[in-house]
Amino acid sequence: MPKGTQREVLPHSQALIVHPKAAEQALYEELMEKSFELQKAEVRLLPLVGRVTALIGTSSVGKSSIIAAMRATDSDLQETGADLVGCDAAYNHFRINCPDELAFLQSVLKPKPNQNHIHYAVGDGLFNFKDSVSESDRLKAKALAPVLMESLKTLPQLSVEEFEFSVLDRAMQLSLGGKACVFDLINVDSVAKHALSRMPKKVALVYCPLDVYVSRIQNRNRKAIAEKEPGELRLGVFHLDQMAQVFRPVESGSETVLFSITRQQLTENFDKLFEDWKVLGNADVSDKYDEELAKVLQAFGFNDSSIQSIDYTPRFKGYDAVIDTSVTKPAISARILRQ
């Protein structure tokens, strides 16, 4: 029975009945006392945790370049993120469930960072063999790759939020181990929901204007094809959906306007991405054009044909820094985030 609980003695049964209100108050006080002790423990731990930096923004907006610049001046800085966590999960699955097949692929393929030589072979059928590999071993490797791909079907399918939480779990683990880390996400809401939100961190929004953004995506895709790096391909119009998740139309004159987009501008950029999706990706998606364009226009707030231009502001107002990568070089961004 919590300390301080009032009791009522009934004359006939001598039973002890706890007054509900008094019990709730005592429990509340007990929890508050524990909470205070926890807070004191957290304060003692704060100087020991590693610095955490979160970069929030859409795919291909320049987050990786900023992370590379940060790590160039801090060799101890650890990196995590959706791509790395996903690759690690797949590779660990192969290591545990298909060790012999994985070992053979490792022996015949030229290594790439983050085990991408394995991911490209299994997921995309692209094999960058070592020069000394025989034709029979090449055929064997090409036969083994589908076996590993089939084994991935047994991996638990995570929701987007669960996947983002796995990134945050890793960042928190690194920080509590005293290691500074940086990670990137699209959805800042996941950070607010995670226990990491209670730890010291810097959260930065990374963005660039729509025209620059789409041009970067196109250049990235062409470079990926030229260099045979399928993991770098970002085909489709999902980038625009991501952008609409990060920003929203301005609702009052007191809100900061980061950029404006016209209906025509949005449609023209959609057309560029859609055309690349068809041509570079060899995708039969022509019949999806009207549906996909309507979704994008609605996501950006062009719900009425009379709306021709909209000002946009970040959906989240608590960023520690807002970085426009069209005018801020990665090295400068890294310096801002270290302050």
Identify whether residues 103 and 150 lie together within a single domain: yes
Structural domain count of the chain: 3
* Shared domain check, 293 and 251: yes
pLDDT digits (tens, 9 = 90+) for 282-322: 778 888 999 999 999 999 999 998 999 999 999 998 899 99
Instruction: Kindly state whether residues 219 and 194 are assigned to the same domain.
Output: yes
Which DSSP string corresponds to 277-289? HHHTTT---GGGH
Of 101, 126, 161, the one marking the end of a domain is: 161
**Residues 234, 146 share a domain:** no
Q: Does 139 map to a domain?
A: yes
**Cα 118 from Cα 263, distance rounded (Å):** 42
**Claim to verify: residue 210 and residue 284 sit in the same structural domain:** yes
Considering the domain architecture, whether residues 140 and 260 belong to the same structural domain is answered as: no
C-beta of residue 22 within 8 angstroms of C-beta of residue 285: no
Least Cα distance to 82 among 171, 152, 157, 213 occurs for 171
Q: Are residues 220 and 188 in the same domain?
A: yes
Please give the angle made by the CA atoms of 117, 123 and 128, to the nearest 5 degrees.
30
Residue 296: inside a domain, yes or no?
yes
The reply to whether 37 and 126 lie within a common domain is no
In a domain, 321, yes or no: yes
Residues 329 and 215 in one domain: yes
Alpha carbon distance 162, 60 (integer Å): 22
- 96 part of a folded domain: yes
Question: Is 58 inside a domain boundary?
Answer: no
Could you give the C-alpha distances from 26 to 3, 8, 21, 40, in angstroms and in order? 7, 16, 9, 21
pLDDT tens for 199-253 read 888 999 999 999 999 999 999 999 988 887 777 788 899 999 999 999 999 998 8
Q: Which of these, 246, 302, 247, 315, lies nearest to 270 by C-alpha position?
A: 302
- Same-domain pairing of 215 and 311: yes
- Domain closes at, from 161, 195, 227: 161
Q: Is residue 327 part of a domain?
A: yes
pLDDT score at 32: 55
β pairing state of 309-314 and 247-249: antiparallel
Q: For the chain, report the end-to-end CA distance as a whole number of angstroms.
A: 51
**Of 130, 161, 192, which residue sits at a domain end?**
161
The bridge status of strand 201-207 relative to strand 321-324 is: parallel
The distance of Cα 320 from the centroid of its chain, to the nearest Å, equals: 18
Angle at 190 between CA 188 and CA 195, to 5 degrees: 120
Phi, psi of 253 (to 5 degrees): -70, -15
What's the domain range around 241?
63-77+181-338
Answer yes or no: is 54 within a domain.
Answer: no
In a domain, 191, yes or no: yes
- Residue 199: DSSP 8-state: S
91 and 235 share one domain: no
Do 156 and 216 lie in one domain? The reply is: no
Q: Which residues of the chain have pLDDT under 70?
A: 1-48
The DSSP code for 11 is T
Pair 226, 98: CB distance under 8 Å: no
Q: Which of 93, 116, 111, 152 is nearest to 232 (CA)?
A: 116
**Rounded to whole angstroms, what are the CA distances from 39 to 33, 44, 194, 199, 254?**
10, 9, 17, 11, 36
